[in-house]
A and B are shown apart, each in its own frame.
Chain A
């Protein structure tokens, strides 16, 4: 099994629908992150969590919310999806510093909002 698992891998949804992207990890890391990738913009941080009771906004949190259900689980929700949220979404984890290998990334969720 992968260290960081994202579900679903691909999703097409309609404008206005609520959608949840899920992430689970077996690394035992405390820190988890959600990033969004758009062509020409690289990866941008949406939300991050340093432990179960800690949730922080990243640089592009508007329109998104998260839930840290357990150390191993971190979900990203789009309350009312819009077309410009079409992107590749990555979940990542790191140890307390992230300095050894940076982050461990999931395989990504490709989301299309029509």
Chain B
């Protein structure tokens, strides 16, 4: 079964704190892609990052970084020095071999000034 689990329902931090969002996935595919999307209060879905199953190199892009560990089937996402504008729902998603995208339940992040 293909499944994406985001165990954290809500996270609340004070501005400038770091926030790490957990994502654990299940798949039998050997080739797959993982994504993080952001949904701000306005409701649209914004693509943030992508990682394929062959590349476990962790990267930093501005205030965003991610930690992909195939051995533990985890794809965690960190926002460094959070800002109020980071307040949103964040979704982890898994693209299967059949090119369908499965989403986790989402984590609501609230950044307080």
How far is A33 from B99 in the complex, measured between Cα atoms in Å? 11
Asked if B37 lies at the interface with its beta carbon under 8 angstroms from chain A, I say: yes
| A74 lies within 8 A of chain B by Cβ | no
Task: Give A99 to B103 CA distance when docked, in angstroms.
Answer: 15
CB-CB < 8 A to B93: which residues of A?
Answer: 102
User: Can you list 21 residue pairs at the A/B interface with Cβ under 8 Å?
Assistant: A35-B103, A40-B105, A42-B4, A42-B91, A42-B104, A42-B106, A44-B103, A45-B101, A92-B101, A94-B99, A98-B33, A98-B99, A98-B101, A99-B50, A102-B37, A102-B50, A102-B101, A103-B101, A105-B44, A108-B44, A110-B43
Question: How many A-B pairs fall under 8 Å by CB?
Answer: 58
Q: How far is A94 from B6 in the complex, measured between Cα atoms in Å?
A: 24
Q: Which residues of A contact B (CB under 8 A)?
A: 31, 33, 35, 40-45, 48, 58, 88, 90, 92, 94, 96-103, 105, 107-108, 110
Interface residues of B in 1-42 (CB under 8 A from A): 4, 6, 9, 33, 35, 37
Q: How far is the CA of A45 from the CA of B106 in the complex (A)?
A: 15
- Look across to chain B and name the residue whose beta carbon is closest to the beta carbon of A109: B43
Docked pose: A101 CA to B33 CA in angstroms = 10
Interface residues in B, total, Cβ within 8 A: 23
Shortest distance between the CB of B41 and any CB in chain A (Å): 12
> Could you say which residues of chain A place their CB within 8 Å of the CB of B99?
31, 94, 96-98
A107 in contact with B95 (CB, 8 Å): no
Other 4 A-B pairs with CB < 8 A, given A44-B103, A101-B50, A108-B43: A33-B101, A42-B105, A94-B101, A102-B101
